[in-house]
Amino acid sequence: MIKDIQGLHHVTSLASAAQSNNDFFTKVLGLRRVKKTVNFDAPHVYHLYYGDEVGTPGSVMTYFPFPGAKRGRHGTGEVGITGYAVPKGTLPFWRERLATFDIAVKDTSAFGETRLEFTGPDGDEFALIETEDDRAPWTGGGVGADEAIRGFHSASMRLKDDGATAELLKFMGYKERARDGNVTRFGVPDGNGADVIDVETLPGAKPADQGAGSVHHIAFAVENRAKQLEVRKALSDTGYQVTPVIDRDYFWAIYFRTPGGVLFEVATNEPGFDRDEDTAHLGEALKLPRQHAHLRDVLEQKYLEPIRD
Ligand code: ZN
């Protein structure tokens, strides 16, 4: 069994427009844009990262905004709700804040936790979940320290059949914590705070069709490259087709497709988002990886619409 997974590292989704995406995360949710770069595999598209002050693993939501992309259809074989942790007693504040941005909310509860569900600009599914959490929030986005988002609480997967994925999560070090209706909750002990995965079983539902508003993959955090190689070997030895280690500049990544259809990544906590920018100015300038640096002029002039902060 793998013992080095600490919880989520980041969640990566698709969007239809960079500006509305940026505004939703920085102005509505009050997160910090910690990196403005491009999709390393399709550099004519931005890759935007939002998180806490430094983009601590477990706080980082990332997007590929493909201009005008058609909206995805939610269904099975995908990540559904991305849950954010907020302090106890703050949902009334958030209900009011979201209302001022004309965002409809739904009050729900699961596993004894009170939550507020809502959608992003492309129908992306989120929940704010009240929980005890001692992670330090980013407060530069207009939400005070008493209410601000602490980082991810969880990601939920919608699956036709949860059996093989449950086995995989256990192999990855997750333990079954509880069941609520058709949802099984898994958690990794002594994790990074973003340590919950909910698996919802929907045998009769249609498969998802990926598009804007869909989660593309979720990444799990490991401390460093040595641990990542151990995780890669353990997954490969179990029969998973895992990619070679890929340099994403701010972390190292491996990817593999899970039995339920969701794409998993395992990403390193090193080197982090401050490797090429001062912490005070994270996310401000367009940063390009070495392999795409020669494209800067054409990307800035033709493809990447400037983002107004
Ligand atoms: Zn990723």
For residues 71 and 122, the answer to whether their CB atoms sit within 8 Å is yes
Going from the Cα of 212 to the center of ligand 1, the distance in angstroms, rounded, reads 16
Q: What are phi and psi of 104, to 5 degrees?
A: -75, 140
Distance 115 CA to ligand 1 centre (A): 26
The answer for 4, left when phi > 0, alpha when psi is -120 to 50, beta otherwise, is: alpha
DSSP labels, 169-227: HHHTT-EEEEEETTEEEEE-TT--S--EEEEEE-TTSPBPB--BTSEEEEEEEESSHHH
pLDDT at 207: 97
The residues pairing with 62 across neighbouring beta strands, listed in sequence order, are: 12, 49
| The listed CATH number (3.30.70.360, 3.40.50.720, 3.10.180.10, 3.20.20.20) that belongs to domain 8-303 | 3.10.180.10
**Cis upstream peptide for 289 (omega within 30°):** no
For the chain, helix (H) and strand (E) counts, in that order, are: 5, 16
Token look-up 């477990």 returns 58
Taking the alpha carbons at both ends of the chain, their separation in whole angstroms is 45
Q: For residue 112, how far is its CA from the centre of ligand 1 (angstroms)? A: 30
Ligand 1 centre and the CA of 12: distance in Å? 6
Q: What are phi and psi of 134, to 5 degrees?
A: -100, 15
Maximum distance among all alpha carbons in the chain? 53
CA of 99 to the centre of ligand 1 (A): 31
* pTM for the whole structure: 0.98
Distance 178 CA to ligand 1 centre (A): 28
Tell me the two tokens of residue 259: 């039995």
**How does pLDDT run across 187-217, given as a tens digit for each residue?**
999 999 999 999 999 999 999 999 999 999 9
Distance from chain centroid for Cα 134: 20
Q: Which has the closest alpha carbon to 59: 229, 212, 194, 230?
A: 194
Nearest to residue 149, comparing CAs of 63, 56, 260, 72? 56
| pLDDT tier for residue 35 given thresholds of 50, 70 and 90 | very high
Whether the Cβ atoms of residue 13 and residue 81 lie closer than 8 Å to each other:
no
pLDDT at 66: 98
- Give the pLDDT confidence of 110-161 residue by residue, as tens digits: 999 999 999 999 999 999 999 999 999 999 999 999 999 999 999 999 999 9
The strand pairing partners of 109, in sequence order, are 114
Mean pLDDT of the chain: 97
Query: Which residues have their alpha-adjacent CB atom under 5 A from ion ligand 1?
Result: 12, 219, 265
Structure tokens at 164: 């093989």
Residues forming a β-bridge with 56: none
Report pLDDT for 225: 98
